[in-house]
Amino acid sequence: MAIISSNPQPLKPGDSSQPGLFSDGMLKEPSAKRTSNDKSPHSSAAKEPLLEPEAKPEERSQQEERLRPRRLSEYIGQKDLKEVLDIAIQAAKVRQETLDHLLLYGPPGLGKTTLSLILAEEMGVGCKMTTAPALERPRDIAGLLMGLQPGDVLFIDEIHRLPKVTEEILYAAMEDFRLDVTLGKGTSARTRSLSLKRFTLVGATTRVGALTSPLRDRFGLIQRLRFYEIDELLQIVLRTAGILKMPVTDEGATEIARRSRGTPRIANRLLKRVRDYVQVKELGNLTEAIAAEALERYNIDPLGLDWTDRRLLTVMIENFNGGPVGLETIAAATGEDAQTIEEVYEPYLLQIGYLNRTSRGRIATAAAWKHLGYTPPDAQLSIL
Ligand SMILES: Nc1ncnc2c1ncn2[C@@H]1O[C@H](COP(=O)(O)OP(=O)(O)O)[C@@H](O)[C@H]1O
Ligand SMILES: [Mg+2]
């Protein structure tokens, strides 16, 4: 089961493949070179994995751990959220209480797991980490809850995927720090209540709307993570470059920041790729030109759009004259899953102003038409 304690070692590698930093297929020829008005066929081989916000198996282990900020003061960006948490932490410390249960939501790679580890660190408590699909049987969650020390953080990733039985056990645990267990079966079944140590549940989800309201209502704090601005990503890239002992210029780091889809995990991944490139080519300091050259080689679009983003927009433009077009229709036309489109792709396209959501459906904006090399129709321009 994927239960991992943050103390003293934050994460155990979940899989055995541990490629070295430079061994993971670096400098492979990029798959088919794509132009700005790409109309390439629907083939997953053309997808650009570097821009996927989810952690790859090798990143889930030590590589990503090394780069995680440990304290709130090192955590870059998310200013409002940090303020809320800082106050909550200080208040809890003064009152010598545990933190309120906290629900963090937002797209992958923005720092939810990192924040939960930071919270535990700041509170001086342990952090047990698990993911909702691993809590299939009542005894999975019961074992975890029983093992918590006073004040500990219990982090449940993908909390919208909790099995119903587990969720019901959590209600009493979150509210009254009580564990109701049923002993025996059928008519002889009895329920016993065990008291638990006070703890803080930190739930993370990309789909806050998929949580049931009884579960959502039991969180004292519900906070959203936002995409990062370029200047924040710049700081993240510079910080990571420092940890990796890699000389970079601000302009070189900005070039990486710009292509990172507002997502720290992607920024760090691109930086590592650029580092491979610089090292193999013996280029020395990372300048803007070198960063751009390297990222172009890996087929990273100047705005961080990936193959699927481009395909979604292209289909909207070519087949539906830019919309409005319904989500399900886009999904059917592109062969992508509607939920993935909504949760993974749309947030970034909305953020950079390439997509609008209206009551009649999605619209590709004039900026998107232009970026993909199309001339927007007059009607499109007038909407904007
Ligand atoms: N605010 C931040 N400042 C610096 N690095 C960050 C920040 N947020 C995330 N990261 C980096 O991005 C990576 C992914 O963050 P993570 O917390 O695993 O994202 P999530 O759980 O939301 O998918 C981490 O390894 C961390 O190094
Ligand atoms: Mg995570």
Tens digit of each residue's pLDDT, the chain (384 residues) = 444 444 444 333 433 333 333 333 333 333 333 333 444 434 444 455 788 888 877 776 666 788 999 999 999 999 999 999 999 999 999 999 999 999 999 999 999 999 999 999 999 999 999 999 999 999 999 999 999 999 999 999 999 999 999 999 999 999 999 998 887 788 888 888 999 999 999 999 998 999 999 999 999 999 999 999 999 999 999 999 999 999 999 999 999 999 999 999 999 999 999 999 988 888 888 899 999 999 988 888 888 898 889 999 999 999 999 989 999 999 999 999 998 899 889 999 999 999 999 999 999 999 999 999 999 987 655 555
CB 23 within 8 A of CB 63: no
The protein residue with its alpha carbon nearest to ligand 1, atom 13, reads 265
The sign of the dihedral angle between the CA atoms of 9, 14, 15, 19 is negative
**Does the C-beta of 68 come closer than 6 Å to ligand 1?**
yes
The sign of the dihedral angle between the CA atoms of 192, 193, 194, 196 is positive
**Does the C-beta of 264 come closer than 6 Å to ligand 1?**
yes
Please tell me the predicted confidence (pLDDT) of residue 381: 53
Query: Quick one: which atom of ligand 1 is closest to the CA of 111?
Result: 17
Query: Quick one: which atom of ligand 1 is closest to the CA of 228?
Result: 1
The secondary structure element, H or E, covering residue 182 is strand 178-183
Closest ligand (CA of 114): 1
**Does the C-beta of 272 come closer than 6 Å to ligand 1?**
no
Please tell me the predicted confidence (pLDDT) of residue 65: 82
**Does the C-beta of 155 come closer than 6 Å to ligand 1?**
no
Please tell me the predicted confidence (pLDDT) of residue 264: 97
Give residue 359 CA to ligand 2 midpoint distance, Å.
32
The protein residue with its alpha carbon nearest to ligand 1, atom 15, reads 111
What gap in Å lies between CA 209 and CA 226, rounded to an integer? 16
Give residue 65 CA to ligand 1 midpoint distance, Å.
9
Give residue 70 CA to ligand 2 midpoint distance, Å.
15
Please tell me the predicted confidence (pLDDT) of residue 15: 39
Token representation of residue 84: 């809320």
CB 106 within 8 A of CB 112: yes
Q: Identity (one letter) of the amino acid at 118? A: I
Query: Quick one: which atom of ligand 1 is closest to the CA of 239?
Result: 4
Long-range contacts of 89-92 (CB under 8 A, 24+ apart): 89/119, 89/122, 89/123, 92/123
CB 299 within 8 A of CB 30: yes
Catalytically annotated residues: 112-113, 157, 206, 265
The protein residue with its alpha carbon nearest to ligand 1, atom 24, reads 68
Closest ligand (CA of 10): 1
Give residue 116 CA to ligand 2 midpoint distance, Å.
9
Q: Provide the H-helix boundaries in the chain.
A: 57-58, 64-67, 79-94, 112-123, 138-146, 164-176, 213-217, 230-243, 250-258, 264-280, 288-297, 307-320, 327-334, 338-340, 346-351, 366-371, 378-383
- b/e string for 314-327 if b means 16 or more Cβ within 10 A? bbbbeebebbbbee
Please tell me the predicted confidence (pLDDT) of residue 158: 96
**Does the C-beta of 116 come closer than 6 Å to ligand 1?**
no
Task: Give φ, ψ of 32 to 5 degrees.
Answer: -15, 120
Residue in the structure block whose two tokens are 């003064």: 94
| Nearest CA-CA partner of 268 in 65, 116, 4 | 65
CB 76 within 8 A of CB 69: yes
- b/e string for 176-190 if b means 16 or more Cβ within 10 A? ebebbeeeeeeeeee
What gap in Å lies between CA 231 and CA 256, rounded to an integer? 11
Closest ligand (CA of 115): 1
Q: Which residues contact 53 (CB under 8 A, 6 or more apart)?
A: 107, 108, 109, 110, 261, 263, 265, 266, 344
For a mutational test of ligand 1's pocket, the pick from 113, 223, 265, 271, i.e. the residue with the most ligand atoms closer than 8 A to its C-beta, is: 265
70's torsion region: left (phi>0), alpha (psi -120 to 50) or beta? alpha
Query: Quick one: which atom of ligand 1 is closest to the CA of 53?
Result: 23
Token representation of residue 239: 């910080």
Cα distances (Å, whole numbers) of residue 374 to 17, 36, 39, 358? 43, 10, 12, 22
For a mutational test of ligand 1's pocket, the pick from 68, 81, 232, 235, i.e. the residue with the most ligand atoms closer than 8 A to its C-beta, is: 68
Please tell me the predicted confidence (pLDDT) of residue 226: 94
| Nearest CA-CA partner of 64 in 113, 127, 28 | 113
Please tell me the predicted confidence (pLDDT) of residue 12: 38
Please tell me the predicted confidence (pLDDT) of residue 39: 40
Closest ligand (CA of 111): 1
Give residue 30 CA to ligand 1 midpoint distance, Å.
26
Please tell me the predicted confidence (pLDDT) of residue 371: 94
Q: Identity (one letter) of the amino acid at 338? A: A
**Does the C-beta of 111 come closer than 6 Å to ligand 1?**
yes
